[in-house]
Structure 1
Amino acid sequence: VRFHYGHPDIFDRIFHLTRGGISKASKIINLSEDIFAGFNSTLRGGYVTHHEYIQVGKGRDVGMNQISAFEAKVANGNGEQTLSRDVYRLGRRFDFYRMLSFYFTTVGFYFSSMVTVLIVYVFLYGRLYMVMSGLEQEIIENATIHQSKALEEALATQSVFQLGLLLVLPMVMEIGLEKGFRTALGDFIIMQLQLASVFFTFQLGTKAHYYGRTILHGGSKYRATGRGFVVFHARFADNYRLYSRSHFVKGLELLILLVLYEVYGQSYRSSSLYMFITVSMWFLVGSWLFAPFVFNPSGFDWQKTVDDWTDWKRWMGNRGGIGISPNKSWESWWEEEQEHLKFTNIRGRLLEIILVFRFFIYQYGIVYHLDIAHHSKKILVYGLSWLVMLTGLLVLKMVSMGRRRFGTDFQLMFRILKALLFLGFLSVMTVLFVVCGLTISDLFAAILAFLPTGWAILLIGQAMRPVLKSLKFWDSIKELARGYEYTMGLVLFMPTAILSWFPFVSEFQTRLLFNQAFSRGLQISMILAGRKEKDITSPVKYA
């Protein structure tokens, strides 16, 4: 079953005008207008056929950001299709085999992508529960539970082959039948060397995020991609705006889950078992966090890295407001990122809050493993952890209020306030270390416990925006969000900055992204540009 073969679409005018026309209800619901025309034609007894008269080269998306914007647009469109009555009617009227074809070629692919990502979340949160509750340790160490190390490793190895290689098998078979299996194997190896797996894993996150958001809240929109010549460097701020919510936040969440699973289970679990279970998820995290920078031309050029950092700090510091575009100010971008919550219904807000509750699991599980808790399982330990959390938020609120009230006119007062808070923090930490038995490892564990809790408070605040605005708490939520954005930006930028110190990394990336002739030409152009600049800046010598 096919509803759309690609542009240009040619309609039978008489057929459609005599069967209700081709007008659409909404530019939001009918975002993918071409396939909805195919739905309508099929429902009205027509056919969608493909006639290839002449093949013309067409400009396609060739840049990472262009492709991601296109994937986001199509995922949004498929989310609206899933909720539409057209898909429901087609599903009810097709026979079984055409229904399977219809599912696979339309919404099923995106639904499967979303389920694939959700399974990773379910698996890791289940593992986190098993580690924090002691259930996994009991299963592994209890002699009454018969288990086989060889069977565990065999199953883990089998899962790697099943999930990884079997998905590649159809492509290898197709190329093998057309060009020979030696060519197919060579193409497969070259694709891996060109980081095709990283790219498609990253796009899996794009599909899952935008499809899931549209299912929850609706509100899809057209995203202009452009098909120009895109061999240019995308700034760090641009990449951050594009992928912050769809990839970076989710990647950091999975990273924390993997770190906790490793740290709190390493005392009783073999390292090989952990590696077999989580290697694919580490690959997923790495792809989601760093693929935009790997596929960004000149992404590891030192001068461009410095310029990117300056531009990002300027973007974070600029104030937003009416008429300020998201490209100029973090505040405007942050407001735009919440548009889906402005127009959603009560069901969407409740589901958003329910999904956020998963972030409270970290604090509840970690605080009982701290050395300062002395193996206590009382609810008082959890209550004291919330007291620490609220105290930290109160301190941040005081600093924010002090900056607004004293930051410009009374800078001395503001510095005195910060000094007093710092001295108070040192005093409290000294007492905790000396009297209560706090350790350095507890500090790092507390960071992993309280960061997700603060993020959960932030997301709940965004979902309850009208209430918090009436209670005058919205500015505090905004300042908390700014702090998290600074932290995420720093975590993402540091690896890029470190790799930019080494010139060979940039050259290797250029050779990876482009073919040999283009890479050589690019290197020569850089040398000539440097020589030309040197000739211009050098003083003229007279005899």
Structure 2
Amino acid sequence: MSIQELSFVSLGQRMLALFHVRQHYGHPDIFDKLFAMSCGGTAKASKGVNLSEDIFAGFNSTLRGGRVSHEEFIQVGKGRDVGMQQLALFEAKLSSGAGEAVISRDAMRMASRLDFFRLHSWFYGNLGWYFTQSMTVVGVYFFIYGKVYMALSGMDSYFLEKGGLGIAGTLNTSWAFQFGFLLVVPVIAVVGVEQGFRHGFTYLLWNVMTLGPIFFTFQMGTRMHYFDRTLIHGGAKYRATGRGFTIKHEKFAELYRFYAFSHFYRGVELLFLLLMFYAYGTFSWCNCSWRLDADFYNNVEPTDLEWRTRCYDDHYQSCVLPTNQNYGIMSYSLWIIAATWMWAPFFFNPSGLDWDKIIEDYNDWQNWLKTTNDSADSWFGWWSNEQEYLEHTTRGARFITGVRKLRFLLVAIGMYLNMMYNAYFERPNRIITSDDDMLTYALSGLVIVIFLLLICCGYIASRVTKKMSMKQRKLRKIKFLLSCCCFLISMLSLTVLSVGNLFAIFILLFVAVYWFMQMCILRLQYHHIVVRALARAYDRAVGWIVFGPIMIVSMFLPFISSFQQRVMFNNAFTSGLEVSKLFAHDVAPAQVVKVKRVSKKKKNRDD
């Protein structure tokens, strides 16, 4: 955050003032009281718009012929946010305020009255900054969804053979620099001008070693989420951040409540799309004509499948190997983004990789998921609070959100069509091993029907009170029998379908159910028992995807925790923390032994 403040307060304000597009930015600025009072004041008649009252004060001054200057006398550092959640709240407040300011009349007047060069400086130095950050993230999803849709439809192999996807590698490489690395470049200029470029280069290396690019990439996702939600649904509000020195360990349940909608869901979605691209994408093709083996085919043109199979078997070195594309090179930048959005909060959380803290976080997370009341510390209370904005949004905003959610349905449809094409045209012997096609449809339909019956039983069980013990026992027996039937049918399906395609059917069903849940939420049915059960199961799955690797790393690689503490704190504080851990481990066993002795004495006394 100190790097951001140095760039924003020093370099940014100098350049904006030079181009006469600087606006007011909060506490350091001094207002001309008489000028502001004669122009109607600085506040707006809306608490949502008034969230960025300093920016609107600058708009008022600029529109009335005034100028907001930047005079430097002394450079000092003020109290700033140092915790990860404090920084996220600060960015959320600024992004929400920018979302409200974009749709205001003041921004429209500024855009229509500034000259061409000043307009561009104002756009990229003010509200356009958040717009371009959001468009960068949206571009990532357009890129990966386009690759997945083309892979599912089979068009990627066609365009690759024609040489029509050459720009994909360039776009993938550019995102690796846009997410995190390019945001550090202004800092080199500031430190280089003030203290010398040698010191600036050293400062850059220190920033990279302390995981600065990961922090900037994570904050870009924060800006995009809150700017996008405010732009579509509104609802900007003030968020208190605080200025305290944060060394408190945040539990995983708190991190999940804070980052689920803005980062964890998006990171898991990006991870799923990357795996889909790996499973269905085309990374090599036959670059030779069938006339290479014209004598084998007696000068009769074979089908594409026949020639492709023979080309891969007999001419791999000469025709296929030169066309190989490395999946890692094509997608490494998106993997970095997905990993950052899912696991960056743990790296910037004090003792976030400590095994003892991980166990406590796991127990707290499980208790949070199991809590059924509507308090703020329960899953249901958090879920209801996160969906409240839909109660006050417009039909147009819901329609836009619904159109966005169609991407999940399109993925499910693409998986189904790809499976049917492979089953009957491309690889029939690998997909279906039985000649009875009706058996395939019957087994698949039966699995879906039993899955729906299980959901209905869960809904009925939630309506049965605890006093009706007999009905509860019957429902448990029904659910157990249905689960056994579903398992047996799944095993029976292995005689008809391959394991990979049976797994693809379950993934297809999962994506379709998730799209259905999102549509129910948009129709304000998120309090329904079935929707809540699906949402809780989805949160549990996302939590395991995010928290599982952290548990494995903290269990088998304990030195990562020491490295993380050294990155966050200085050497003296890290040494003190290690000593306190040693004392804690020395005291804990003695206390346990004492408790055991006391309990043993009590037991003998009772005997």
1:448 CA displacement: 3.1
Match of 1:241 in 2: 257
Match of 1:375 in 2: 424
1:104 CA displacement: 1.4
Matched, 1:417 2:478: yes
1:442 CA displacement: 1.9
Q: Which sections of structure 2, spanning at least 5 residues, go unmatched?
A: 1-20, 286-322, 427-437, 595-607
Amino acid at match of 2:352: G
Sort the Cα spacing of 1:116 and 1:387 in 2 relative to 1 into closer, same or farther, 3 A: farther
Sort the Cα spacing of 1:444 and 1:372 in 2 relative to 1 into closer, same or farther, 3 A: farther
Of 333, 341, 346, the match for 2:382: 333
SS at match of 1:224: coil
Match of 2:132 in 1: 112
Of 395, 409, 426, the match for 2:454: 395
Match of 1:496 in 2: 550
Amino acid at match of 1:355: R
1:47 CA displacement: 2.9
SS at match of 1:374: helix
2:82·2:246 contact (CA, 8 Å) conserved in 1? Answer: yes
Sort the Cα spacing of 1:32 and 1:156 in 2 relative to 1 into closer, same or farther, 3 A: closer
Amino acid at match of 1:308: D
Match of 2:211 in 1: 195
Matched, 1:284 2:337: yes
| Aligned counterparts, 1:497-516, within 5 A | 497-502=551-556, 503-516=558-571
Match of 1:89 in 2: 109
1:155 CA displacement: 5.1
Match of 1:360 in 2: 409
Of 273, 280, 302, the match for 1:264: 280
2:148·2:277 contact (CA, 8 Å) conserved in 1? Answer: yes
Distance in 2 (alpha carbons) for counterparts of 1:383 and 1:419: 22
1:74 CA displacement: 0.6
Of 20-29 and 207-216, deviating more is 20-29
Of 293, 300, 319, the match for 2:372: 319
Distance in 2 (alpha carbons) for counterparts of 1:6 and 1:383: 66
Match of 1:134 in 2: 154
Q: Which of these two proteins has the greater Rg computed from alpha carbons?
A: 2
**TM norm structure 2:** 0.78
**TM norm structure 1:** 0.87
Q: Which sections of structure 1, spanning at least 5 residues, go unmatched?
A: none
SS at match of 1:31: helix
1:516 CA displacement: 2.1
Amino acid at match of 1:240: Y
Of 154-163 and 169-178, deviating more is 154-163
1:534 CA displacement: 6.0
Sort the Cα spacing of 1:391 and 1:121 in 2 relative to 1 into closer, same or farther, 3 A: farther
Q: Residue by residue, what CA displacement relative to the aligned partner does 1:386-414 show, whole Å, maximum 9, x if unpaired?
A: 98657534422322322442766424323
Of 239-248 and 258-267, deviating more is 258-267
SS at match of 1:501: helix
Matched, 1:185 2:201: yes
Distance in 1 (alpha carbons) for counterparts of 2:108 and 2:168: 44
Distance in 2 (alpha carbons) for counterparts of 1:279 and 1:464: 38
SS at match of 1:375: helix
1:130 CA displacement: 1.4
2:149·2:411 contact (CA, 8 Å) conserved in 1? Answer: no
Sort the Cα spacing of 1:459 and 1:386 in 2 relative to 1 into closer, same or farther, 3 A: farther
Matched, 1:452 2:511: yes
2:351·2:561 contact (CA, 8 Å) conserved in 1? Answer: yes
1:422 CA displacement: 1.3
Distance in 1 (alpha carbons) for counterparts of 2:445 and 2:147: 24
| Aligned counterparts, 1:24-103, within 5 A | 24-51=44-71, 57-103=77-123
Sort the Cα spacing of 1:431 and 1:384 in 2 relative to 1 into closer, same or farther, 3 A: closer
SS at match of 2:23: coil
Sort the Cα spacing of 1:372 and 1:407 in 2 relative to 1 into closer, same or farther, 3 A: farther
Sort the Cα spacing of 1:64 and 1:475 in 2 relative to 1 into closer, same or farther, 3 A: same
Sort the Cα spacing of 1:517 and 1:135 in 2 relative to 1 into closer, same or farther, 3 A: same
1:50 CA displacement: 3.8
1:300·1:496 contact (CA, 8 Å) conserved in 2? Answer: yes
Sort the Cα spacing of 1:174 and 1:15 in 2 relative to 1 into closer, same or farther, 3 A: closer
Q: Give the share of equivalent positions with the same residue, in percent.
A: 39
Distance in 1 (alpha carbons) for counterparts of 2:283 and 2:100: 48
Match of 2:572 in 1: 517
Amino acid at match of 1:124: I
Q: Residue by residue, what CA displacement relative to the aligned partner does 1:242-301 show, whole Å, maximum 9, x if unpaired?
A: 110111111111111111111112563776532222111110000001101111111112
Distance in 1 (alpha carbons) for counterparts of 2:442 and 2:67: 65
Sort the Cα spacing of 1:308 and 1:405 in 2 relative to 1 into closer, same or farther, 3 A: same
Matched, 1:461 2:516: no
1:355 CA displacement: 0.7
| Aligned counterparts, 1:132-211, within 5 A | 132-140=152-160, 142=161, 145=162, 159=174, 163=178, 169-211=185-227
Of 386-395 and 62-71, deviating more is 386-395
SS at match of 2:424: coil
Distance in 2 (alpha carbons) for counterparts of 1:510 and 1:443: 44
Equivalences, count:
522
Distance in 1 (alpha carbons) for counterparts of 2:445 and 2:225: 31
Q: Residue by residue, what CA displacement relative to the aligned partner does 1:298-333 show, whole Å, maximum 9, x if unpaired?
A: 111222111111111221122233xx2x2x111111
2:355·2:554 contact (CA, 8 Å) conserved in 1? Answer: yes
Q: CA RMSD in A?
A: 3.2
Amino acid at match of 1:405: V
SS at match of 2:50: coil
Sort the Cα spacing of 1:258 and 1:69 in 2 relative to 1 into closer, same or farther, 3 A: same
Distance in 2 (alpha carbons) for counterparts of 1:287 and 1:344: 31
2:51·2:97 contact (CA, 8 Å) conserved in 1? Answer: yes
